[in-house]
Amino acid sequence: MKGFTEAADSEVRARNVAAQLTIGCTVVTYMKLRSLHLLDLSQMDKVLRKPKEAETLEIPAPFALAISHLGLFKVSSRTDDLKVGPTFSAADAANFGLPQGSKWSAPLYAQAVEYAKSLGLQFTTVDLNGKIGSSWWLYKQNVEEDFFSLDCIIPEDNYTPETAVLHTLWCINEESGFHNEFVDLSPLGTHVYGSMLRNPHAGINLDTYFAIEEARNFPSSLEVQLYS
């Protein structure tokens, strides 16, 4: 009985820690977008509030890499001079991007980080000052006849294999299947220029996570906004 109890307690703790780490990553995403929106009068009103003790948060290193690469992106191979950037609705921004019922708590997050570090997970901070981003978040996830791919909704030369791999951190849904749209790309239209990463293997999100951890020495819901 004791063994079953300990296993159940461990599972509950793991779920609680995972929930807190998710909250932390969401808050840091808010902080990253906040740094961009404070320079834009049309977006500034969304981000006047700032969560406490959030500017130097450490989050899991692979997610920190991705969030650091959120920023303005100049689209090449188009006749217009299109720049895009991530944003969110005023309703989402009101709770720092967190869903209803979730709250930010710096002490609870610190406890979760301490426990996760004891298990060997690597953490680092996010560069909140960088304004230029990459295209990793500009793929449209597509499933047709049980085949998954990342559709390129801007010209293909704006993407790289590295941005496709980084996107796979978010390609698995809550039911452990492929397709987890987390960016509203509708402002960019419906044209598809090509596709990448066709039919990846199950568990690619975890493989990407640990590959990023091993590849670097870490010391440390979105929408598209169009800019003319």
The structural domains of the chain, with segments of one domain joined by +, span: 2-227
DSSP letters of 105-134? -HHHHHHHHHHHHHTT--EE---SS--B--
Which long-range contacts link 102-105 to residues 24+ away (Cβ below 8 Å)? Answer: 102/23, 103/23, 104/23, 104/27, 104/51, 104/52, 104/54, 105/20
Q: Would you state the pLDDT for residue 1? A: 43
Question: What sign does the dihedral 216-183-205-119 (CA atoms) show?
Answer: positive
Model's pTM, two decimal places?
A: 0.89
Q: In angstroms, rounded to a whole number, what is the distance separating the alpha carbons of residues 167 and 147?
A: 17
| Residue 108: Cβ within 10 Å count | 16
Q: Would you state the pLDDT for residue 228? A: 46
Which residues of the chain have a pLDDT value below 70? 1-7, 216-228
Q: Are 81 and 217 in contact (CB under 8 A)?
A: no
Q: Would you state the pLDDT for residue 11? A: 85
Radius of gyration of the chain (CA): 18
pLDDT tens per residue, range 107-140? 999 999 999 999 999 999 999 999 999 999 999 9
Q: Which two tokens stand for residue 153?
A: 């909704």
